[in-house]
């Protein structure tokens, strides 16, 4: 099925539509809702919408549309949309696909600005469905109608009882109103997250199942949530976005507005991509690049329902961590050990306390207690009568400048001990509003009162110390993103001031010589090269060159020279040079008889560099992306590579360098000198600028190896390959 | 504080005690229990034991001992242990440390075989406490008394209401009797796991908080659980064991008896070790080695409370998986995508179904359903009336030979749909008793009936697809361990048949030349070496050698030759040889002026080998352990290393090789030949035998690099270092 035309059209539509009508106020707060295809069978979508609207007390007009009925459950039924005379802003369409385009047209005529298309039967079913989808989108565009769906559960505005939806989104548990708005690319799985978040006491604002996203896409909805004053936190379940940069722009807007954007992205592995393909049929894309984009936008990435719920539960309290220094206090030493392991895995610092804190703890806790961080109160301290002492301990920890986040662990405590300690915790002075996370393993039925106290104070409670450490780490990451938000946004939006050479007017692969030439002209240092004609009978060291040299084949048709024996390193003298050149020519002709050979390259050897690889891919979803990793077969096997969407600035480049597992190499290990990471950082920034500027013609760029020389000696591209389109 | 004497004594005691009295029947089923230091204050341990015994209907004799009381809560109180005339097997001692040794003596005199010492104040408090602990253990040994504790919550036998304990172990929730016995090195954290397992419907047999383990240790308790017919599953929370091999033997007994041993080990990271040191004060040891030991014993390792609960919940059903092929079916496509990602991370195979299965699914499911694995029934199928069709689908999947484990996902389904589907699931024919795991995200209050049905059928239910995948993987790992149990046990217990050279009668480091000599005499191939005198004025290639060669300093005092410039590779001719030898001597003398220099080593270069490292450490807890990893600075930085406790067999060696992240290197990448992994495997086995045989004198052995040559060409030790004690 060729859906490219539609895809392109949609991109255009979405772009234009964006210009036209990115205000979703009337969608989320409609004056009236038409249910087209309404009926009285509660197992069917059209009826479920009616029931939900009634059950949740929607105060706007409800207009069932179905020529077969005069009324449904007491509500008058309209023969067609045009019969509705009262203000109406949303049409929920519960009809077979074939009827949808004309209904959209009617919406346009009637001035209904938003439609929710519940049913499937479009693009995902084949060419006929695709044609229907194109007609639907064209009708929407012509009539100034924005569409949610098709093939979706619809949306709800929890605060105002607006239910333009069916299925699990409309059924109990009835969500409590709150600050979280969610866009979910799977109604069922997204609802699973939301139900469990509800159980953990999280309240919601808007929930949108975006379905096939024929018109309205995830980034537009994130923008709408950013603009909504009652949304404070945004959750997205994604399998794939259509336009990565549009997504990044919306995520940057969320970051700028300090509305945390929590994303669960699925379809990231071989089996996951296969499953997603038969589910949403979105292009899931390279997960490595999504991960990079999330980092570049301060997105809080979560990986499971639990994880999402824990983070949402922590964010609703509104206390934002300032850093990675955490303190924990428990009557169960084992839970502190377990937490400390998890803290280590999450790069949290269970650091030293001030003398003042320690002496207060020493005074208030049993003599056998351990008053260093983690603080072990020892078993039996959690008695009701110790609550005043406990409160003082909590206050000391909360005012300790070495503590950014606090974890008071209750472990197995229950009954009066638990509730009196929780009362003390909530009453404790917390002048800087540092985040607090409680661990309790005791089942809810034995800790009812204490849990209620925490819920009221919006202090999250977790069933395991590890989940607590996981959340603390994510809060700390978000704190870092907030701190650098201006830089993150500006880096990405920057206009290039880097020197870039004239782009060769060719298509396809440039050979090594031309590729390095282009890089050199763009200000990137490459090895000293000379091109010798391949048909020469007598190879000599070019004037001004010194041995040892590298000798390689030059051919745009041979990208992997080493594999076929077309590279010879450390060539030491004239005799070896001749032998090397002849060997290389012979090997190349044998391995690839049809390759066009442009000559023999002689390059001066750089022997003091650490081998790395820098690459650019032009991703279909995110556009130009820079990859950076260690060089050599071993490093490639270990996949020690990191990615960033281009362009980016020096801080991001430095992060890429430290992110590699092998990064200690650059500091100089085992007698090796430290490496020129400044030059490396600058090169990555320069490549990112080049990648962005050349986005319309650059398919791929590889510098392999890029040699990182000792500090002060820079970096040198020893081989390069550019693919243009 | 020097606790070595005590440690040694305990080792001996434990050993002897093991001979004497490893039968814990009378401990877990005592005819009577004395509570020494009983009182009537419910906040105190001595009283809590009494309350617990009464509350749980213990049918044996209960004998409070305290000269201050005539009776406590209606039970007659004894002035001293010797006054108890009825049969009594356990004394719970709730007294200050100073009084404990004499009470233990009295227990011995009275013939009470087991004591539980609740209080602290021993070794962990300093020299006086240590002296007390020594006296206590001596008294126990003299009187044939075995001790649980000190500094512990004690133990309970849930089936028979035996509570020799206080604190969280005695308090609600009251555990249901069941097949899980647990030993926990932290009463509080262990109880946290147990409480959450209770909540998930797991029943228990014995729970022992082992405390300071002055006498009875974890391995003895595991052995007791293996011997207990009513224990089917064993759980252990560990911070460290005193004797790694004793632990491994008990774990092997559990494996042999097919009683899954689930272990949560904490204190594994820098911060975790620090926290454990101030908690149990056990030597936590190298986590890498614990991980290796767990693999070698088929231990099911878990990492958090959630994880432990999920695994226990899955094991109680008694359905053991046969492999890694899993099928999942859901009405929520998104949950399938999420699961598939997690399956990939856990090396589970969401593989193809047979034609028969697919056509049954096609017949029974909606036309838009996806009938490949993962099976997407699509939204709305989970209706009560579809239950019969659903049952057929489940049966088809359960009888499909490509399915080892089944995950029916209910996601957001609730009410009648959920319960009717669960009824169908439970009623479905499952001739091979394949394990089934359900995912439901809908809160319990909306799925009460369905959950009860699953609980009754002992089918576990999880709140996220990822946790389900995690458990399936652990079940598959355990299946593999069961399949290979004989080999795992025999490998470890094997008597060496490998040739081992006479061990040099020296202490300290052997230089490279001697180290390699010893290895060569033990049948390990080393590079061809010649030792030239360091005071030679004229260095020549030894007769029979060919250039290129490596030239190195030989000195037992210089273990890291490369770092100081005392190694020169690829030396090509006589001139270079002389220069190299002089440079190396000069560099060595400059860097380490006091090093004793034994000569200059000339070694033939092996240029076709992949660099690896093989090492032996003699671990204080586990004894000799073999480490294997990739060589070179990069690999060392990336810590691509794997461990196994010696000795082991070829299958284990092969596992080590494939476990390295860089393992694809051995198959031959990028034009490189495949490597001689057979020779490598044999060498690892040989080194493991050597390590075990030399356990009393070998401190350390390093072969770095061990060169792995192309297939058929073997492996060569190019450098080696042996440290003897």
Q: How far is residue B101 from each of residues A90, B78, B109, B423, measured CA to CA in Å?
A: 82, 19, 13, 59
* Contact state of A269 with B414 under an 8 Å Cβ cutoff: no
Q: How far apart are the first and last CA of chain B?
A: 25
Check CB contact under 8 Å for A272 and B637: no
How far apart are alpha carbons A241 and A223 in whole angstroms? 14
Contact B671 A266 (CB under 8 A): no
> Is the Cβ–Cβ distance between A282 and A276 less than 8 Å?
yes
From the list A195, A333, A383, the residue facing B412 with the nearest CB is: A195
User: Which residues of chain A have a CB within 8 Å of the CB of B374?
Assistant: 275
Which of A344, A411, A670 lies at the smallest CB-CB distance from B272? Answer: A344
Task: Locate the chain B residue with the closest alpha carbon to A417.
Answer: B43
Find the angle CA(B440)-CA(B442)-CA(B445) to the nearest 5 degrees: 120
Instruction: Give the residue from chain B lying closest to A374, CA to CA.
Output: B275
Residues on chain A touching B633 (C-beta within 8 angstroms): 665, 669-670, 672
Is A189 within 8 Å of B338 when comparing Cβ atoms?
yes
Q: What's the confidence (pLDDT) of residue B363?
A: 97
CB contact under 8 A, A464 and B306: yes
Nearest by CB: A344 against B269, B370, B661: B269
| pLDDT, tens digit (0-9, with 9 covering 90-100), for B43-69 | 899 999 999 999 999 999 999 999 999
User: For the segment B592-647, what is each residue's pLDDT rounded down to a tens digit?
Assistant: 999 999 999 999 999 899 999 999 999 999 999 999 999 887 777 888 899 999 99
DSSP code string of A424-487 = HHHHS--TT---B-EEE-S-GGGSHHHHHHHHHTT--EESSHHHHHHHHHHHHHHHHHHHTHHH
Task: Compute the nearest-CA separation of B607 from chain A (Å).
Answer: 15
CB contact under 8 A, B670 and A633: yes
Residues of A in contact with B640 (CB under 8 A): 638
Neighbours of A486 (CB within 10 A): 10
Q: Which residues of A touch B154 (CB under 8 A)?
A: none
Q: Which residues of B touch A278 (CB under 8 A)?
A: 333, 370, 372, 376
| Partner residue facing A634 (CB), from B278, B379, B665 | B665
Task: Dig out the tokens for A689 from the structure.
Answer: 């600028």
Contact B637 A187 (CB under 8 A): no
Asked whether the beta carbons of residue A333 and residue B280 sit closer than 8 angstroms, the reply is yes
CB nearest to B192's CB, from A376, A379, A441? A441
Chain B hits for A566, CB-CB cut-off 8 Å, are none
Q: Mark yes or no for CB contact B188/A411 under 8 Å.
A: yes
pLDDT band at B11 (very low <50, low <70, confident <90, very high): very low
Contact B267 A670 (CB under 8 A): no
Q: Cβ contact (<8 Å) for B670 and A337?
A: no
| Average pLDDT per consecutive 10 residues, chain A (725 residues; last block may be shorter) | 44 43 89 97 92 95 96 94 96 97 97 96 91 97 96 96 94 95 95 95 97 96 97 97 96 98 93 79 78 97 97 94 95 94 96 97 94 92 94 98 97 92 97 96 94 95 96 96 92 71 86 93 93 85 90 89 87 89 92 91 92 94 94 81 94 94 88 92 94 92 95 96 93
A chain contacts of residue B306, beta-carbon cutoff 8 Å: 306, 463-464, 466-467
Residues of A within 8 A of B465 (CB-CB) are 304-305
Which among B96, B187, B338 is the top mutation candidate for probing chain A, defined by the most A β-carbons within 10 Å of its own β-carbon? B338
Contact B275 A333 (CB under 8 A): yes
Among A275, A333, A558, which would you mutate to test the B interface (most chain B Cβ atoms within 10 Å of its Cβ)? A275
* CA–CA gap between residue A478 and residue A476 (Å, rounded): 5
What is the least distance, in Å, from the CA of A497 to any CA of chain B? 36
CA distance B675 to chain A (A): 14
**Closest CB to A562 among B198, B267, B670:** B670
Q: How far is B373 from chain A (nearest CA, A)?
A: 9
Kindly list the residues from chain A whose CB atom is less than 8 angstroms away from the CB atom of residue B198: 443
SS3 (DSSP) at B82: helix
**Tokens at residue A662, please?**
């092998």
Nearest-CA residue of chain B relative to A610? Answer: B634
Q: Which tokens hold the place of A280?
A: 């949403």
| Chain A contact set for B279 (CB, 8 A) | 333-334, 336-337, 370, 376
As a whole number of angstroms, the distance between CA B14 and CA B423 comes to: 52
Q: Count Cβ neighbours within 10 Å for each residue of A606-637 and write b for 16 or more, e otherwise.
A: beebbebbbbbbbbebbbbbbbbbbbbbbbbb
Name every chain B residue with its beta carbon within 8 A of the beta carbon of A370.
Answer: 278-279
Burial class (CB in 10 A: 0-12, 13-18, 19+), B42: exposed
Q: How far is A640 from chain B (nearest CA, A)?
A: 9
pLDDT band at B496 (very low <50, low <70, confident <90, very high): low
A464: chain B residues, CB-CB within 8 Å: 192, 196, 304-306
Among the partner-chain residues B120, B195, B636, the one whose CB lies closest to the CB of A443 is B195
Determine contact, residues A77/A36, Cβ cutoff 8 Å.
no
Size of interface A-B (CB pairs under 8 A): 316
* Partner residues linked to B553 by β-bridges: B600
Q: What pLDDT sits at residue A493?
A: 74
Query: Residue A277's closest chain B neighbor by CA?
Result: B337
CB-CB under 8 Å, B306 with A196: no
- The answer to whether the CB atoms of B276 and A368 lie below 8 A apart is no
Contact A188 B379 (CB under 8 A): yes
Judge whether residue B20 has pLDDT over 70: no
Residues of B in contact with A638 (CB under 8 A): 638, 640, 661-662
* pTM metric for this prediction: 0.93
Q: To the nearest whole percent, how much of chain B has pLDDT over 70? A: 95
Taking the C-alpha atoms of residue A263 and residue A255, their distance in angstroms, rounded to an integer, is: 13
Instruction: List pLDDT tens digits, range B229-248.
Output: 999 999 999 999 999 999 99
Question: B339: which chain A residues are within 8 Å (Cβ-Cβ)?
Answer: 275
B184 CA: distance to closest CA in chain A (Å): 10
Query: Between chains, do B269 and A341 touch, taking CB under 8 Å as contact?
Result: yes
ipTM associated with this complex: 0.92
| 8 Å CB contact of B464 and A304 | yes
Supply the pLDDT for residue B677.
Answer: 97
User: What is the pLDDT at residue A13?
Assistant: 43
CB distance A269–B186 less than 8 Å?
no
From chain A, the residues in CB contact with B264 under 8 A are 338
In angstroms, rounded to a whole number, what is the distance separating the alpha carbons of residues B341 and B335?
A: 10
Preceding amide of B647 cis, omega within 30 = yes
């Amino acid at each position: 099925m060729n859906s490219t035309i539609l895809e392109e059209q949609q991109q255009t539509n979405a772009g234009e539509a964006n210009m036209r009508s990115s205000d979703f106020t009337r969608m989320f707060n409609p004056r009236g809702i038409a249910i087209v295809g309404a009926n009285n069978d509660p197992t069917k979508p059209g009826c479920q919408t009616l029931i939900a609207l009634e059950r949740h007390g929607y105060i706007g007009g409800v207009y069932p549309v179905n020529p077969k009925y005069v009324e449904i459950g007491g509500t008058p039924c309209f023969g067609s949309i045009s019969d509705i005379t009262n203000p109406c802003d949303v049409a929920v369409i519960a009809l077979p696909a074939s009827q949808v385009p004309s209904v959209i047209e009617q919406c346009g005529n009637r001035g209904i600005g938003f439609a929710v298309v519940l049913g499937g039967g479009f693009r995902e079913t084949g060419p006929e469905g695709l044609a229907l989808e194109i007609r639907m989108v064209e009708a929407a565009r012509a009539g100034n109608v924005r569409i949610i769906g098709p093939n979706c559960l619809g949306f709800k505005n929890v605060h105002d009882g607006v239910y333009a939806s069916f299925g699990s989104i409309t059924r109990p548990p009835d969500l409590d109103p709150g600050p979280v708005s969610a866009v979910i690319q799977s109604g069922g799985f997204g609802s699973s997250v939301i139900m469990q978040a509800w159980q953990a006491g999280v309240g919601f604002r808007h929930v949108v199942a975006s379905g096939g996203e024929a018109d309205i896409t995830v980034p537009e909805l994130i923008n709408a949530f950013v603009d909504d004053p009652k949304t404070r936190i945004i959750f997205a379940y994604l399998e794939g976005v259509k336009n990565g940069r549009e997504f990044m722009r919306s995520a940057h807007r969320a970051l700028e507005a300090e509305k945390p954007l929590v994303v669960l992205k699925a379809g990231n592995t071989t089996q996951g991509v296969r499953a997603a393909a038969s589910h949403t049929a979105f292009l899931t894309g390279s997960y490595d690049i999504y991960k990079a984009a999330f980092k570049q936008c301060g997105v809080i990435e979560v990986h499971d329902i639990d994880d999402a719920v824990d983070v949402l539960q922590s964010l609703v309290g509104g206390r934002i961590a300032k850093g990675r220094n955490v303190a924990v206090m428990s009557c169960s030493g084992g839970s502190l050990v377990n937490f400390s392991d998890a803290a280590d895995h999450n790069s949290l610092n269970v650091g030293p306390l001030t003398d003042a804190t320690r002496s207060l703890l020493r005074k208030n806790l049993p003599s056998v207690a351990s008053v260093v961080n983690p603080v072990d109160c020892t078993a039996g301290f959690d008695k009701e009568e110790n609550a005043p002492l406990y409160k003082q301990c909590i206050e000391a920890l909360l005012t300790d400048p070495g503590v950014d986040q606090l974890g008071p662990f209750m472990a197995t405590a229950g009954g009066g001990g638990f509730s009196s300690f929780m009362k003390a915790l909530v009453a404790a002075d917390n002048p800087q509003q540092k985040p607090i996370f409680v661990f309790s393993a005791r089942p809810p039925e034995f800790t009812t009162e204490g849990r209620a106290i925490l819920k009221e104070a919006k202090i999250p409670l977790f069933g395991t110390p590890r989940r607590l450490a996981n959340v603390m780490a994510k809060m700390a990451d978000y704190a870092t993103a907030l701190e650098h938000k201006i830089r993150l946004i500006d880096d990405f939006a920057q206009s290039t001031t880097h020197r870039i050479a004239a782009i060769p007017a060719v298509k396809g692969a440039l050979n090594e010589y031309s590729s390095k030439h282009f890089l050199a002209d763009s200000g990137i240092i490459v090895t000293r090269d000379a091109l010798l004609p391949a048909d020469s009978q007598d190879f000599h060291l070019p004037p001004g060159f010194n041995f040892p040299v590298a000798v390689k084949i030059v051919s745009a048709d041979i990208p992997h020279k080493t594999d076929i024996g077309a590279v010879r390193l450390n060539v030491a003298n004239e005799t070896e040079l001749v032998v090397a050149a002849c060997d290389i020519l012979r090997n190349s002709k044998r391995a690839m008889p049809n390759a066009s050979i442009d000559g023999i390259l002689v390059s001066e050897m750089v022997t003091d560099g650490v081998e790395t690889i820098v690459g650019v891919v032009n991703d279909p979803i995110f556009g130009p992306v820079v990859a950076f990793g260690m060089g050599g077969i071993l490093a490639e096997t270990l996949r020690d590579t990191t990615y960033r969407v281009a362009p980016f600035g020096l801080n991001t480049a430095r992060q890429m360098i430290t992110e590699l597992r092998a990064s200690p190499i650059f500091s100089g290990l085992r007698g090796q000198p430290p490496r020129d990471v400044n030059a490396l950082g600058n090169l990555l920034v320069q490549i990112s600028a080049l990648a962005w500027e050349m986005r319309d013609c650059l398919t791929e760029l590889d510098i392999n190896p890029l040699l990182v020389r000792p500090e002060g000696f820079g970096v040198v591209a020893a081989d390069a390959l550019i693919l243009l389109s």
